[in-house]
A and B are shown apart, each in its own frame.
Chain A
Amino acid sequence: GDSVTQMEGPVTLSEEAFLTINCTYTATGYPSLFWYVQYPGEGLQLLLKATKADDKGSNKGFEATYRKETTSFHLEKGSVQVSDSAVYFCALPNAGGTSYGKLTFGQGTILTVHP
């Protein structure tokens, strides 16, 4: 079945540091890929997405490129801010069958950014 693996956390950085959160996936075919973010006390919201191989999703300074050859969708940001402190989830939608409508999530990576 489909699966998503994220790098172990938590991740602690100083403001303006470079961020990478690794995400690899196993799936049938070539699904869309998502990064969701969960700020403290809130629900998940879409951060960025890519719908096909070699697509680059970007939003709020974050970027991720859909790499079919390495089945990866790593999240990057060149200069993090304290306001980026949150939990980040990599996710992919299931292709159908009995899992129709389901998102498969990675374990989540807790990011803390210090001033």
Chain B
Amino acid sequence: EAQVTQNPRYLITVTGKKLTVTCSQNMNHEYMSWYRQDPGLGLRQIYYSMNVEVTDKGDVPEGYKVSRKEKRNFPLILESPSPNQTSLYFCASSSSGGRGVAFFGQGTRLTVV
């Protein structure tokens, strides 16, 4: 079954404690992205990757890092989380030059206290 898998689904952490949210897709897609969803703001892109070792900033990259060492995996790293990073995070992957249909993970609800 084609899917994007994120872990964990829920995470509560304290300010400044480094964390990683994992994302893996089994569709051999070149393009992967991270979004955050906040009430009234829709989804905003954090980072994206066009292929292995190729990543770039989206609209709201501050405070986040990513890596793409393998085609299937695209982890999101928060080196020093702050309360304003409390949000719902989604990983997505797509083919067709990045302009096709995107497949989303189930989301990670992060709370930073």
Q: Which residues of A contact B (CB under 8 A)?
A: 4, 31-32, 34, 36, 41-46, 49, 89, 93-96, 98, 100-103, 105-108
A101 touches B31 (CB 8 A): yes
Please, which residues of chain A bring their CB within 8 A of the CB of B31? 101
In chain B, positions 9-52 with a C-beta closer than 8 Å to chain A are 31, 33, 37, 40-45, 48-50
In the complex, which range does the number of interface residues on chain B fall in?
Answer: 20 to 34
Q: Is the beta-carbon distance between B42 and A101 smaller than 8 angstroms?
A: no
Residues of A within 8 A of B97 (CB): 100
Min distance, Cβ B102 to any Cβ of chain A, angstroms: 6
Pairwise interchain contact B33-A101, C-beta atoms closer than 8 A: yes
Q: What are the 6 tightest A-B residue pairs by CB atom distance, in nearest-first order?
A: A101-B98, A43-B104, A93-B99, A105-B42, A44-B104, A101-B31
Q: Are A100 and B90 in contact (CB under 8 A)?
A: no
Which residues of the partner chain B approach A42 to less than 8 Å between Cβ atoms?
106-107
Min Cβ gap A86→B in Å is 14
- Residues of A within 8 Å of B58, CB to CB, are 102
Of listed A44, A45, A100, residue having the most chain B CB within 10 A: A44
Indicate if the CB atoms of B101 and A34 lie closer than 8 Å.
Answer: yes
When distances are taken between beta carbons in the complex, the residues of chain A under 8 Å from B4 are: 43
B59 to chain A, nearest CB (A): 8
Q: Does B62 contact A (CB under 8 A)?
A: no
Flag if A89 contacts B48 (CB, 8 Å).
no
Pull 28 A–B residue pairs with CB atoms less than 8 Å apart, ordered by A.
A31-B99, A32-B99, A32-B100, A41-B106, A42-B107, A43-B4, A43-B90, A43-B106, A43-B107, A44-B43, A44-B90, A44-B92, A89-B42, A93-B98, A93-B99, A93-B100, A96-B99, A98-B56, A100-B48, A100-B50, A100-B98, A101-B31, A102-B45, A102-B59, A102-B98, A103-B33, A106-B42, A107-B40
Q: Which one of A32, A34, A96, A105 lies within 8 Å of B43 (CB-CB)?
A: A105
Residues of B within 8 A of A4 (CB): 42
